[in-house]
Structures are given as C-alpha cells and as structure tokens.
Structure 1
C-alpha cells in the first residue's frame, strides 16, 4: 500500500469516527439522573451526603462530560420545552461560566465537605480550591471578575468553613490561602451581567429562553413599563428561603405541577412551561412585573444594588430585607423572572 493511499484510508477512518453520533439516553428521566449525578456538588439531591468520588465542578473533565450528555440528548426525541432548554444550555457553553467554578449561590465547599472526610477526599477538595483560585486568575486576563455580591458570598462560605474545619491542617491552609486571595480581590463595578465581557450576549440568551421571545432589553423595558402602569402597587406576601441555593422563581413555582428539566439552576424544572400554567394573584402579578423590571435594570442598565433595592421598595412596598434578597436573587439567577413574561406581557 503506497503512502498516499494509506493516508487516505486513515483519513476516512478518522472522518467516520468523528461523524459517529453519540448513543442517546434510554429516556429523558435517565438523562436527567445522569446530569443530577454530575452536578451533585452544585445541587445535592435529597438528604444523601455528597460524594466527591465524582468529577469536580467546572473542571475539564466536568465540562467534557456535560457536553457529551448534551450531545446525547440532541439525538433524542424531546418536547418543544425540553428542546428549548437544551438549546439554551448549549448556547451557555460559549459564555464565561466556566471561569467561575464556584457559583456564588451555592456553598460548594460545604457540599463537598459534607461527605465523610478521608485523606483522599480532603486532597480533592484542596485541589478544587486551587483550581478555583487559578480560574479566577485566568478570568482576569479576559476582563472577567466576580461582582461584589458574589465575592461577599464566597468570603462568607470560606469563613464558615474555617470555623467548622479548624483542625484539618492541609485543608485549613488552602482555605486560608483562598480567603486571603479574595480579601485582595477587586470585584467588577457592575453587579449585572453587562459588566462581563460578552455579558450582554449572555444575558440576551437568558431573556430569549425564559421569555420564549426574542426581544432586546430596551423593548422589554417599554413593554414592562406599560403593564406596570396598569397594575396597582400592592405589597405581595413574600415567602422564601434565606439562602440562594434555590432561586426565588423556582421556590415560587415549587408547588406547581412539576415539568422536569435538566438545569441545576432551575432546580431541574422547566420554569417557563410551569409559569404558563400558574395562576397569579394581582399582588403576585405586580411582584413578577417588578422583578422583570429589576432584572433588566441590573443586568442591562447597570443599576447598583442600592438603586435596585429602592426601585423594589417603591414598586412593592416591601422591607429593605426583602428587597435585598430579591435583588441578590436577580443577580445570581438572571432572566428567570421572565418565565412569567408570556402570561403577563403582551408579546
């Protein structure tokens, strides 16, 4: 066999291997379970301890496995709502989430350390903390920084860990190092996504998915303002968890009939599909309109924390504490309030 022919054969085999489609999951439930398992440290399931015998969040292995799972889902027959969420998650792979391997709404360190401590596990946690610090350093080169809310949350998690694990020598030293690193860290000026490189595009993708409609933030502002003028300013009866492990919108919809999803940030639910079937009281209609207004204000108009809080207090006659929580929630879970856009806004 001459050299040219051999190269042709090898190239053909390579192309066949590359074109081979990944095998689909046996069912959507099986796919969801695999993704839940991958995300155990981000979203522990039930009361079971977190196992760190797994791929750690946002490592190269994690990103590769998650991408493979998305590819397998693409080969399956999905509902329209499931397809929309999958496409949204695939688009999100292009954006800078991977640089922030510790999502600030979740105490990942506490989740990892809730597993039975062993020397090997402790080493894995130490490596993950080093990896997270390195990722933040790499992000700076691309003009990507935590905002002050995210920074404050991470610092709080580390302080709590130091108190709980004061005697774990190697681990404590790494926690102290990371804590000192964050003490010198300068957060970005804007708390919204627009303060990130490619943040505006990332935010637009979230608006498109949760609302189900392609509109610019400015178009949404006009529509929201028209509806705000038609609704009375009545204080809602707010109920929420003090932490941010689950978004306010996911909590609000938790009693509605579940529609299964694959995104840990939506508590593995399809929020737009569930919101469409939810009945809102006049007070809650005003609440969701105000949250959508705040969401665009924070992530597009670069409102400060104080500006966003003042707006919510004015719109809803709520306490400063409630306003603080809701603004933080909008910062940590951009766009989710727009799950109610189809029900509340004339599109």
Structure 2
C-alpha cells in the first residue's frame, strides 16, 4: 500500500512539473540581458576574440525569431510597471509587421559587427549563411511587394563595398560579399521611402505613433494638433552635433545626458525613450526642433514625402545646412515615430 502511495505521489509531482514549467526568464532584467545577447550583431557592446556568433544570433533567422518570441512571451507573464508593459506590447505587436522580411536593418552595419568576432572559427561560415539568408529573404519579400527603400539600399551597398575594400576579410568570404553586392546592384527599391510604401505599413506606423506618443491618434489627427503649434513657431538654429552613422538614432543621442531608464528595444539602444523624453527639461528651442521632426516624420511615413521634400521642410523650420537636413531625414526614415516621444512637452 505504501509503495503504491509513494509511486502515486511521484507521478503527481511529475505531472505537476510537466504542466507548470518555470519561465526561462524570471525578471525584466533577465529578459533584457537575453535580448542584448541575442542582438549581439545589432548593438555591439564590444566584440572580443573567442566570442562566438551562435545560430540564433543570425539576425532575423528562424532561430533568432523563435528565441526572441520566447523572451517576449516570458515578459508578458511577468509583473511589470506600466512603462515596461507598454514596451512589451509594442514589441509584440511589431512581430506582426514586415520587419522580419528585412534581415539586415539598414541603420546598422551588421556585417562589420559580425566580422568583429574574428576569434570564432565559425564566424565566416555564419556570415556566409546569413548573407545567403538575407538575399533569399529579400527575394521572397519582393513577391509580396516588400522592398527596401533607396536610403536602406544605399546604406547596405556602402557596408558591402567597405568590406570588399578591407584587407582583413578572408578572400573566400569576400567572394560571397561580392556576390551579394552584385545582387543589390540590380535590386529595384520601392518608390516611397516611408512606411506607407509597404503592405501593412500604415498600420505598422500607427503602432509606432501610439507607443512613442502614449496617445492614440491617427496621423491626420496628429497633423491637425501639430499644425496648431507649428504655425506660431519662429525658425530656430539647429546646433546639435550629428554623429557619422545611424547606428544609434539621433533621438537616442539627443537624450544621452538624461537619466537612463532601461528599455528592451535594440533600436532605442535599450532605453525607454518615451519615459526619458517625458522627464527631460525642454527649452522652447528643443520643442521647435521636435515639432519640425514630428511634422517631417508624418510627412515621410504617412503622406509619402520624398527625401528632397522632407529636407526642404526641415530647412524651412530650422536654420540648418543641407547636409544636416539629409542626416535628420535619413534618421527619421530609419527610426519612424521616435520623435513623438517628446509629444507630452508640446501638446
């Protein structure tokens, strides 16, 4: 009898363990650490020889997407504060949209980041695998009318040409890089540089506006609200220092002196941009800059402004050079909606 009772108890414990598996990530901080490791090729915090690029770190591969989804699902089961919940919901919603069809986010030189892990004998093979996957995914995406815009295409081509010119890239790997460069040389980008040029792009953009602003307004409603403020603006001088690349967005760097609030999104450099922007003490000059950026953001991603149109608009609002306007417009194209993090200071 006691033997049967003992076996029965063991069976119950086994079934209970099977029915309630522990979460692989138990806190917001654990999940953030896991996301940083997963995104090693996107936000490189310093590669060292001997580090390995694993299969699930090949950006937007099936293994990567599965691992990222697992982390997001763990986060959804945690007790989080309101800002953290908003971040998680935003990232989960983004899984539905076309981002995964563009394996190489154009704001980041992923190839250079991966090659920096030169201590790993597996890295060249993984780079080759990832380049082939990126080309195959771009081919597949075109069948659904999902195409890179010309800004993204130009940036990717520049990264490839830089690698081809480097003396530190193995000849065998360089031949694969050349092949992908040749592929992009004949690639036809989409006409619109904004998200509206993509299938479901308008909905994707709306989700970004909702998250960064903390409000739910359509782009047209935002236009009305912004115009009320813009029409009384005086043109101000743009005197922010611009970086040489788009690896970190202009807004991330704009907030670099503010108190850090941890985030989950690699595109925000793991910072909670809306929370940090809301806590910032803004001058009238700062507000004018952000209004001009918001206006251009909606112009590009909703009204399908061309790059020249957006540049002209910024120069009309801000005293800045064409080169500075070019950089800001590219940044708005690559990081849609981020400027709306500052909306609480303005509306």
TM-score clears 0.5: yes
Q: How many residues of Structure 1 are paired with residues of Structure 2 in the alignment?
A: 330
| Distance (whole Å) between structure 1 residues aligned to residue 170 and residue 35 of structure 2 | 31
Query: 5+ unaligned residues in a row in structure 2: which ranges?
Result: 1-15
Cα pair distance change 1:93/1:138, threshold 3 Å = same
Q: Is the 8 A contact 2:47 2:117 kept in 1?
A: no
Q: Is the 8 A contact 1:22 1:72 kept in 2?
A: no
Residues 307-340 of structure 1 show CA distances to partners (whole Å, capped at 9, x for unaligned) of 0000000100210011000000000000000001
Residue of structure 1 equivalent to 2:274: 272
Residue of structure 2 equivalent to 1:135: 137
Please provide the CA RMSD for this pair.
1.8
Structure 1 residue 51 displacement after superposition: 3.7
Q: Is the 8 A contact 1:100 1:136 kept in 2?
A: yes
Residues 2-51 of structure 1 show CA distances to partners (whole Å, capped at 9, x for unaligned) of xxxxxxxxxxxxxx999857616232212111110000000012465664
Answering whether residue 28 of structure 2 is matched by residue 28 of structure 1, we say yes
| Distance (whole Å) between structure 2 residues aligned to residue 109 and residue 47 of structure 1 | 13
| Distance (whole Å) between structure 2 residues aligned to residue 51 and residue 245 of structure 1 | 22
| Distance (whole Å) between structure 2 residues aligned to residue 300 and residue 19 of structure 1 | 47
| Distance (whole Å) between structure 2 residues aligned to residue 18 and residue 157 of structure 1 | 48
| Distance (whole Å) between structure 1 residues aligned to residue 204 and residue 188 of structure 2 | 22
Query: 5+ unaligned residues in a row in structure 1: which ranges?
Result: 1-15
| Distance (whole Å) between structure 1 residues aligned to residue 211 and residue 205 of structure 2 | 10
Residue of structure 2 equivalent to 1:343: 345
| Distance (whole Å) between structure 1 residues aligned to residue 345 and residue 84 of structure 2 | 19
Cα pair distance change 1:273/1:21, threshold 3 Å = farther
Q: Is the 8 A contact 1:236 1:284 kept in 2?
A: no
Instruction: State how 1:36-75 maps to structure 2 within 5 Å.
Output: 36-46=36-46, 48=48, 51-55=52-56, 56-75=58-77
| Distance (whole Å) between structure 1 residues aligned to residue 37 and residue 168 of structure 2 | 30
Residues 84-141 of structure 1 show CA distances to partners (whole Å, capped at 9, x for unaligned) of 0100000000001111010000000000001125543211111100000000000001
TM-score calculated relative to the size of structure 2: 0.91
Answering whether residue 307 of structure 2 is matched by residue 305 of structure 1, we say yes
1:332 corresponds, among 304, 313, 334, to 334
Residue of structure 2 equivalent to 1:223: 225
Residue of structure 1 equivalent to 2:5: none
Q: Once superposed, which parts of structure 1, at least 4 consecutive aligned residues long, lie more than 4 Å away? A: 16-22, 46-50
Cα pair distance change 1:291/1:215, threshold 3 Å = same
